[in-house]
Structure 1
Amino acid sequence: MERLEKKMLDLEKANKALKESEQKYRELVDNANCAVIVIEPTGYLSFVNPKFCEMMGYTMKEVKKLHLSKLVHPEELAMVTENFKKKLSGQQTPKSYKVRALTKRGDAIYVDYDSAVIKRKGRIVGIQAVISDITERKKAEEAVRESEEKYRMLFENANDVILYVNKYGKIIDINKRVEDIFGYKRDEVVGKNFVKLGVLRPKNIPRIVKLFRNSIEGKEIISILELEVKNKNGKMLPIEASTRVIKRNGKIVGTMNILRDISARKKAEEEIKAKSQFLESLIEQSPLPTFVIDSAGIVVMVNKAFLKAYNVPKKEMVLGKNALTEPANVRQGVVKYIKEALSGKIVEAPEIEFISPYENKKTVTKSRLFPIFDTANTLTNVVVMHEDITERKRTEDQIKASLKEKEVLLREIHHRVKNNLQIIHSLLNLQSQYIKDKQILHVFKESQNRIKSMALIHEKLYQSKDLARIDFVEYVRSLVADLFRSYETDSALITLKTNIDDVFLGIDTAIPCGLIINELVSNSLKYAFPEGGQGEIHINLHPEKEGKFTLVVSDNGVSFPKNLDFRNTESLGLQLACTLVDQLQGTIGLDRTGGAKFTIAFTEPKYKQEG
């Protein structure tokens, strides 16, 4: 009996301990940070903890009808189903694996699936799984992978050689650019000590080793260094090396080194240097006073001609000065031209009276300013060249004064010729008062008109700005007006119509041309309109191509006699007109329809046109 009571007591203690254990396990599962589920052999879930509901978005009530297939991404379902079946049949499967799960909303999340079979009396009755959400970790891993891929792509496709060296000088990694620049394959370089690779000049090795050790020890880091190295073929190459230390957990473990081939840059620098030396030589040998400023306006060069022209004892008195603030430049208005040149323009400054600050000497100077650009099209300097034109200016002034004197003299000559012709005109007029014969009187009047036409040419010339050429429009109007007065023509009955372009003729063309118009208009006034007759006289003058002109003098009066040859007539006026046309090497024609229309074509010689 006592033994039975003891067994009952032990059984009661065991049941109590079991309940306490189950309670603790339940609390542990309910409060776990990962999802815990139990899956029946049918694939349906028989138990889940609160974390599962939180992770997957289901309620406890919804879980009762939830099948495993609803929780797995379609692309992962076949693999999960196969492992589930193997697990139930007791076959060996991975204890845990990573898989994409689907939440209630259909979102895919990455989970770590760790499962174990549940046995009762030696028989598998289900599977218990622990599920951890590793989405954020997966994203972080993916970001790291993408970053590594991008870095690797940049590393491999860089234009420069990039190599990693550990703290012992051993090359850990190098990009493929090493083959293009140095001629080495990657596997010929990786794993070797950079000193023993054979690319450094022996005399440079101690210095490079010291700099490397200082970098590793954190003492000194040379960010950029230029040196010559030898490629696989033995050719020396100029390179630019930059170094950065690599740290892990705050400790320096090696260096990252970038080697850039600067052969092209060095070549360009040499070309620029040669051009600069050539330019300096040209400037120095130039006979024109010249100085050079930099982009800030500071004088950086001055030639011997400048020192001599302005009596500067030493070039140091000019070098380093700011051309934009130099008092002499400011005072004489030179600064604005310097600023214009500094903006990139070629400037030709006007004549300036320049007073040297080094001697009280006034000169007339003309300056040219040329900007200079580097290969990047950036303005680096401005060359300022002075030309002393004092003597030339003095000579020009003398020539201008002489020309002015000649112009006054020529005007006086034209004026006196006009006066002399006017005196002859007046004498003929006085003489005609004693002539009773009408025919002789008529001859005197025509001679007066011819003299008047020539006098008018000289009058217009001395009144004109151009002493070599005459404004023919104005001349014709004055000439015909005088003829109308001479023949006492009633302008109400006979009118003048002119159509003359802006024509300027030299004196050797204007005089015969004026006489021709004088004779033809006089002929119209005398014969075309009988006493009291009405009509029009037309004068047209137009320039044609290549210095040719067409002059037309016509009237609509009595028709010119058909049987009269105007080239062979006793009329002195028509004879004179034909002779003057020949003098102009021109042609003359007559249209007798509806009056008389004379057409004269002539060419003014080029030497006459040009004066």
Structure 2
Amino acid sequence: MKFTGLMKIRDFKGKNCGDLLNLILLGLVVFTVFISEISLYLFSDGLMLVLSHIFYFPLIFLIFQYPAKGLRISFSLAAFYIFTNLIIYVLAGSPGEMIFYSGILFVFTYVCIGTVTTVIAQGLHQKEDDLKEIQKRYLNIFENSGDGVIVHRMDGKILMCNPAARKMFEIEGSIDEELDFKDLKIEGDCKLMRKALAEVMRDGHGFYETEIKIKSGKVITAEISASMADSEKGIMHVFIRDTTGKMNALNALRESENRLKSLTNQLPEVIFEMDSNGKFTFATRYSTNMFGYSPEELEGGMLFQGILSEEERERATKNIHWFLTGHIIGAVEYNAKRKDGSVFPLMVHFGYIFNGGEISGLRGIAIDISQRKHMEKALRRNEKKYRSLFENSNDAVIIHDFNGRIIDINDSLVKILGYKKDELLNIELSAVYPGSEYNALKDALSNLKESGNYFYETKLKTRSGNEVFVEISASIVSKSKGIVQSIIRDITERKISESALIESERRFRNLTDLLPQIVFEIDNGGMITFLNKNGFDSGIISPEQFKEGFNIYSLIDEPDRSRARENFEWMISGYRSERGYEYSVIKTNGTKIPFLIYTSPIEKNGKTEGARGIAIDISSRKRMEEAFIVSEERLNLAIEGAGVCVWDWDMVNDEMFFSGNYQEMFCYSEEGCYKGSDNWKDILQVKFFRDIMDFFNDVVDVEQRVIDKESRHFESEYHILCGDGRYKWINVMGKISDTDSGGIPLRIVGIMQDINEIKQYQNSLYEANRKLNLLSSITRHDILNQVAGIKGFTDLMDKKVRDNDELTHHLKRIRQASENIKEQIEFTRDYHNVGVEVPRWQRVDNIALRIKGMARSSGVTIDVKCGPLEVYADPMLEKIFFNLFDNAVRHGEKVTMMSLDFVKSNDYGVIVVMDNGLGVPDKLKEKIFDHGFGSNTGLGLFLTKEILGITGMKIHETGVYGEGARFEIEIPYEGYRFSE
């Protein structure tokens, strides 16, 4: 759509050339050109006249093209004309004065024509520029106007539509798209529109306001102003302003005024206006309630003083005169008098009524302050109560201003902070806040200014520098003065409890996450509200399902679901059971797992709000039960095959039960040896029971070590009389399986094994060993006799061959060999004794005392710190400590001190033998216990290791080379004790 077609260029007719001076100058120029033309016609011949006028056309054309250069163009053409004439006339041979005169006239004519043409051309160009500027401004207003603007023809064809109109009527598409009024799909008052159109056609413009329904169905209120832009072409300008907001505001204003009027009539105060004479001109309805006078009575000419008591009227008259003369206005308290004659206190707030900038009356609010007066009296009475409450409150109370200046405090704050009252009143509030909590104080004061009250938790610093947790409820008691009252409660203990609770919850969560079972909580509807880590890891429920909400009954297999729901409902109704219920649970992958579920109710305020429980995966137990049945069958088969009898002594009821091959073992019939009969006392001698009781009642020094009866095993052999009259050797082993709270055995279980044949083999073996020992002893004695003979003969020969070095050398070798034979024979004697005798309990300190006597002669002191320690070892135990002493003296170089100590470990005890000698190099710590190692055959430490190994003891060297040797003898837990 082209804007230029809509603008009509008005006639040029001297609109901007009306200036008188310009008209005079133009007339003079035209007159001069006219005179010049006449002169040229008279003085010039035909050829010259033609040549001169030919240049008018390019002159006028160039000046219209370049109006700013008109004068230069005219002078240039004039000069060119003179030059051309001179050349022509010189060539023609007829130069003369006429040529010169005519040339000057033509130059003058060209300049005049150029000047006129320049003025006209510049004027036209200026008009064209002005027109373009006007078009640009109009288009800018058109595009950016907040009102909708539509330019259309009378046939409804829209020529132009600005963005505001397109937005108002929800027009979509390109801005260059041709539109018709029908495309707008607007609905309105057709009669009003036709009337407005007729008005525009008649008067050239029209204005009306109406409601328009646009195509989306939205109804807007609009002011429409229309005018004819071009009556000949039937082009009309329409300006549309959306006044929906304004109309809504006007409606809201009317409604607000109505509400205000209704509100003022409902207020328990009287709002009134009076003129400069003090007469009422307006009063609200409440005047009837307050004064007994209706608004009509007051507005009927009644003076303001008429509603006051007689003694107040003169003061009221002076006050009204004072206010009307422009003095400071405010609230005044009077004693008012009702129509019935009763008097009451009245507070009146006055304000000015201005008319034309001058005070024309007063406006005010009258308030019955009878209740306030009563409240003031009550307030004074309550002030004492408040002060008593302030001073005796368990909570600390502090009154301060926004600058932190402390105004007043009570004794509770003194107790909390440890200051004296005078000290607190002379410091700033920030002084009792730690540096880390200073921002909390600033935030509190800031929030107080905004909301008037603020509750927060912080820490305060006591006089001693400690910090206490407090909660503070602060409120402004006087906003004008900036006075704040803060109630402070010491919550240090609560914070400690909360921290403990948080820690407890964290520990509970960590503990439940560590449990291998599933820990859960559900509400009364069965929805899972808590689940530990194992619950998610087990694959029963995913975290996403838990967040969305998951019912526990959907986890239970269909056959068990109704039973589970029934058990849960029983529990909610008050039924309690400590037993667990077994259900089949469906995992997310569809597999079914047996679970044993224990639940207990969650009770709050005496009501059951759900349940918490533990779910145990018993699939492994199920498999174990099946395996146990198989294992038990195998065990029974093994017991029967091994000929073992299992016994179980119930010491509470003094009953003995047997299983296995007990009839055959004791040679009794099944009737004569019933498992629960009293005949077991006849089968087993009294010594058997006495030995068992003595063994399990063997309590030693509790300060040293208390024997764990539950882990000790009893084992002994008995020669028992059987049912057929013969005696049998029976090996009896037992262990405590149950005790009471004091550790007294309640039940002992064990096995019995027929070792009669083994005893016979042992006796035969013992007899064979006895004979071998006798033979070995005789053989060693004979060999040592022969070695003694060799030694005697070598001594005799040595005296005879002293001068023969070669023979002396050989004799020395023979003597050394005989000594080696002697030591080896003695070692075989010692080694032969290892394990020959049965191990027994031996006091270590007694052995050490015997070695002490030998140590004194060697200049070595032995410190024994093991106490009354007894060790279950081979009778050659003394040989061990002698070897350790002998090694220290032989190889420790300068040993002056040895110690013997005992330390306990979890599973064993350790005897530590130390000296202050040289010690053992690290690379030799294991080799020194090998057979044949060392300068003296190494038989001592090798023999030590072998003797200790008989009863399960071990020896190690753990000392630091250069600081002394340290031998540690490890003793099994059951291999040591402390005697009384």
| TM bracket, shorter-chain basis | 0.5 to 0.7
Say whether the 8 Å CA contact 2:397–2:486 is kept in structure 1. yes
Superposed, 1:2-13 pairs within 5 Å as 3=311
Query: Between Structure 1 and Structure 2, how many residues are aligned?
Result: 411
What SS does the aligned partner of 2:434 have?
Answer: coil
What SS does the aligned partner of 2:574 have?
Answer: coil
2:726 is aligned to: 363
Q: Distance in 1 between the 2:461 and 2:684 partners?
A: 83
TM-score (norm 2): 0.35
Q: 1:69 aligns with which of 420, 430, 433?
A: 430
Q: 1:193 aligns with which of 551, 564, 582?
A: 551
Which structure 1 residue ranges, 5 or more long, are not aligned? 404-463, 473-500, 506-539, 544-548, 561-592, 594-599, 601-611
Q: Distance in 1 between the 2:382 and 2:795 partners?
A: 140
State yes or no: 1:386 paired with 2:754. Answer: yes
What SS does the aligned partner of 1:95 have?
Answer: strand
Listed one character per residue, the Cα deviations across residues 176-230 of structure 1 (whole Å, up to 9, x for unaligned) are 2112234432342463322222x43x33333333322221112342433345434
**Higher Cα radius of gyration:** 2
Listed one character per residue, the Cα deviations across residues 240-288 of structure 1 (whole Å, up to 9, x for unaligned) are 32111111222222211101234445555555544432221122234x4
Q: 1:39 aligns with which of 400, 407, 413?
A: 400
Say whether the 8 Å CA contact 2:722–2:728 is kept in structure 1. no
Listed one character per residue, the Cα deviations across residues 531-580 of structure 1 (whole Å, up to 9, x for unaligned) are xxxxxxxxx6139xxxxx969879979x99xxxxxxxxxxxxxxxxxxxx
Q: Distance in 2 between the 1:86 and 1:335 partners?
A: 86
Say whether the 8 Å CA contact 1:340–1:347 is kept in structure 2. no
Q: 1:165 aligns with which of 505, 519, 522?
A: 522
Q: Distance in 2 between the 1:469 and 1:195 partners?
A: 84
Q: Which amino acid aligns with 1:168?
A: G
What SS does the aligned partner of 1:70 have?
Answer: helix
Q: 1:302 aligns with which of 660, 679, 683?
A: 660
State yes or no: 1:349 paired with 2:349. Answer: no
Q: Distance in 2 between the 1:307 and 1:253 partners?
A: 61
State yes or no: 1:154 paired with 2:462. Answer: no
Say whether the 8 Å CA contact 1:223–1:244 is kept in structure 2. no
Listed one character per residue, the Cα deviations across residues 484-538 of structure 1 (whole Å, up to 9, x for unaligned) are xxxxxxxxxxxxxxxxx71189xxxxxxxxxxxxxxxxxxxxxxxxxxxxxxxxx
What SS does the aligned partner of 2:566 have?
Answer: helix
Bigger CA drift: 165-174 or 363-372? 363-372
What SS does the aligned partner of 1:542 have?
Answer: helix
State yes or no: 1:98 paired with 2:451. Answer: no
Say whether the 8 Å CA contact 2:714–2:735 is kept in structure 1. no
Listed one character per residue, the Cα deviations across residues 350-399 of structure 1 (whole Å, up to 9, x for unaligned) are 6x36241xxxx32242223355899xxx9984221225659979x99xxx
Shift of 1:144: 3.5
Say whether the 8 Å CA contact 2:518–2:531 is kept in structure 1. yes
Say whether the 8 Å CA contact 1:372–1:383 is kept in structure 2. no
| Residues 3, 222 of structure 1: alpha-carbon distance in 2 compared, 3 angstrom cutoff | same
Q: Distance in 1 between the 2:507 and 2:632 partners?
A: 44
State yes or no: 1:240 paired with 2:571. Answer: no
Superposed, 1:182-581 pairs within 5 Å as 182-189=539-546, 191-197=549-555, 199-200=556-557, 202-268=558-624, 270-286=626-642, 288=643, 290-294=644-648, 296=650, 298-303=656-661, 306-308=662-664, 312-314=668-670, 317-321=673-677, 326-330=681-685, 333-335=687-689, 345=713, 347=715, 349=717, 352=719, 354-356=721-723, 361-370=724-733, 381-386=749-754, 502-503=781-782, 541-542=786-787
| Residues 71, 245 of structure 1: alpha-carbon distance in 2 compared, 3 angstrom cutoff | same
| Residues 542, 6 of structure 1: alpha-carbon distance in 2 compared, 3 angstrom cutoff | farther
| Residues 355, 17 of structure 1: alpha-carbon distance in 2 compared, 3 angstrom cutoff | closer
Shift of 1:308: 4.9
Which structure 2 residue ranges, 5 or more long, are not aligned? 1-308, 316-332, 336-344, 346-369, 697-708, 738-744, 801-810, 812-817, 819-980
Superposed, 1:132-143 pairs within 5 Å as 132-135=488-491, 136-143=493-500
Shift of 1:86: 7.3
Q: Distance in 2 between the 1:282 and 1:466 partners?
A: 39
| Residues 388, 147 of structure 1: alpha-carbon distance in 2 compared, 3 angstrom cutoff | closer
| Residues 269, 467 of structure 1: alpha-carbon distance in 2 compared, 3 angstrom cutoff | closer
2:478 is aligned to: 118
What SS does the aligned partner of 1:66 have?
Answer: coil
Q: Distance in 2 between the 1:189 and 1:300 partners?
A: 55
| Residues 83, 165 of structure 1: alpha-carbon distance in 2 compared, 3 angstrom cutoff | closer
Q: Which amino acid aligns with 2:478?
A: I
| Residues 214, 19 of structure 1: alpha-carbon distance in 2 compared, 3 angstrom cutoff | closer
Q: Distance in 1 between the 2:583 and 2:648 partners?
A: 30
Shift of 1:293: 0.6
| Residues 217, 53 of structure 1: alpha-carbon distance in 2 compared, 3 angstrom cutoff | same
Q: Which amino acid aligns with 2:526?
A: G
Listed one character per residue, the Cα deviations across residues 20-40 of structure 1 (whole Å, up to 9, x for unaligned) are 734533541442334444434
What SS does the aligned partner of 2:563 have?
Answer: helix
Q: Which amino acid aligns with 1:368?
A: N
Q: Distance in 1 between the 2:791 and 2:375 partners?
A: 143
Shift of 1:98: 2.7
Say whether the 8 Å CA contact 2:540–2:586 is kept in structure 1. no
Q: Distance in 2 between the 1:391 and 1:158 partners?
A: 53
TM-score (norm 1): 0.54
What SS does the aligned partner of 1:298 have?
Answer: strand
Say whether the 8 Å CA contact 2:454–2:475 is kept in structure 1. yes
Shift of 1:161: 0.6
What SS does the aligned partner of 2:435 have?
Answer: coil
| Residues 44, 283 of structure 1: alpha-carbon distance in 2 compared, 3 angstrom cutoff | closer
Q: Distance in 1 between the 2:773 and 2:443 partners?
A: 115
Q: 2:537 aligns with which of 161, 177, 180?
A: 180
| Residues 349, 129 of structure 1: alpha-carbon distance in 2 compared, 3 angstrom cutoff | same
Q: Distance in 1 between the 2:509 and 2:374 partners?
A: 63
Q: Distance in 1 between the 2:408 and 2:772 partners?
A: 120
Say whether the 8 Å CA contact 1:38–1:48 is kept in structure 2. yes
Shift of 1:469: 10
Q: Percent identity?
A: 19
Say whether the 8 Å CA contact 1:225–1:240 is kept in structure 2. yes
What SS does the aligned partner of 1:168 have?
Answer: coil
Q: Distance in 2 between the 1:206 and 1:196 partners?
A: 11
Bigger CA drift: 185-194 or 48-57? 48-57
